[in-house]
Structures are given as structure tokens and as C-alpha cells.
Amino acid sequence: MSCLLLDAPPTYITVDNQQYEINTDFRVSIQFELLMQGDISNEVKIMLTLDLYLPEIPENVMEAYNEIVKFYSANSRHGKSEGLAGKGRSPERIYSYEYDDGYIFAAFKAYYNVDLVDIDYLHWWKFQAMFIGLPDTCEISKIMGFRAIKITEKMGKEQKAHYRKMKRIYKLPDNRSREQKEFDFADSMADFI
């Protein structure tokens, strides 16, 4: 486990005991996340991922892909979406780089004075740390909170109505594939059998 405060964030992956330089800019990992949400075959996703991150593609494609996924997720152990998944279900998305881009841009500009459009480079791990560290008072954090909140019986009628309205206003499009929707539906029905 690497510590961002003690170690320089990685700039390469190791495949078959050989180091391969990777593109660590935050834009690449955002493209990767959007790619993973796309409705294309896994084989195509893997090859596009390698093209995104690597100037030189190793022979061991699957190990390279797995190392990229580790790089992508290694510094996200404190992510804001942690714990949102239901039992055996896909995690509920509480942000989208595609639909929340303006809110994310505005938050980075307001709280860090970082212009995500004009900045030449920002390491993915640093971007993630800054995104996770945004205060609850900024608009994107509030929106993610509305998306994530569980409406419970303990809430009052007005509070439930308010949160349902906020969830409806800030709902993200459902980008799951038809197969994933069917799987999630079947999985949720298993709770009633």
C-alpha cells in the first residue's frame, strides 16, 4: 500500500517483472472510468484501456490490464461512494464525470484554485485526494449526498419528501447494460423468495 504523503505517486506499472511507464494524468483515468461504463465488449474495453494508459503495450495484456486497474483504484480507499452498494448489487453511482463536470470543475476552482481545464497535468492520485477532500458545503458534495442518502422510516414525512425530490432532481442516467439491469432485478427479487 502506497502512502501519498510519504511516497511519490507511481508513474509505471510492472508486468512480467518489467516496468512500463503509464499516463498518470487525471484526464486519462476519467476517460477510463467513462469507458468502463460504456456498453462495449470487455475485449474492446481492455484494448482501449491499454491504448489510453500505455505508450508501449506489454505482451501479457491481461496482467497489464489488471495492473492498470490496480493503479486506477489504489488510492481510492477513502472514496465518497464507499459502502453504497446493496447486498450483492452494483454500487449506486453518486457522481458522474460526464454529467457533473461543471460542478466538479467549479469545486476545484473554488476550493483549490485549480482550473481543471487549463492545468497541464495533475496526477490521478492527487486528483482523487482533492476530490475526496472537497468540503460537504460545496455543491457537488451536497449533490452526492442527496444521491447517496438512504430514505428510512425514521425520517419525518417532510424530510422523506425533500430527499425524494432531491434524488429525482439530481438523478443520474442509468448506464447499466441490459444484462446488468436484468441481473440486478433478478438479484433484488431473490430477497423476496
What average pLDDT does range 68-78 have in this prediction?
Answer: 79
- The pLDDT tens digits of the residues spanning 15-62 come to 999 999 999 999 999 999 999 988 899 999 999 999 999 999 999 999
DSSP at 21: E
Domain boundaries, the chain: 12-74, 101-187
Given this model, what pLDDT does residue 74 score?
75
Q: Taking the model in full, what pTM does it have?
A: 0.82
Burial status of residue 66 (CB atoms within 10 A of its CB: 0-12, 13-18, 19 or more): middle
Q: Which helix (H) or strand (E) holds 14?
A: strand 12-15
Cβ partners under 8 Å of residue 50, min gap 6: 57, 61, 64, 65, 68
CB 151 within 8 A of CB 160: yes
Q: How far is residue 141's CA from residue 135's CA, in Å, rounded to a whole number?
A: 7
Q: How far is residue 152's CA from residue 47's CA, in Å, rounded to a whole number?
A: 43
User: Residue 142's pLDDT band (boundaries 50, 70, 90)?
Assistant: very high
Q: Is the pLDDT of residue 68 over 90?
A: yes
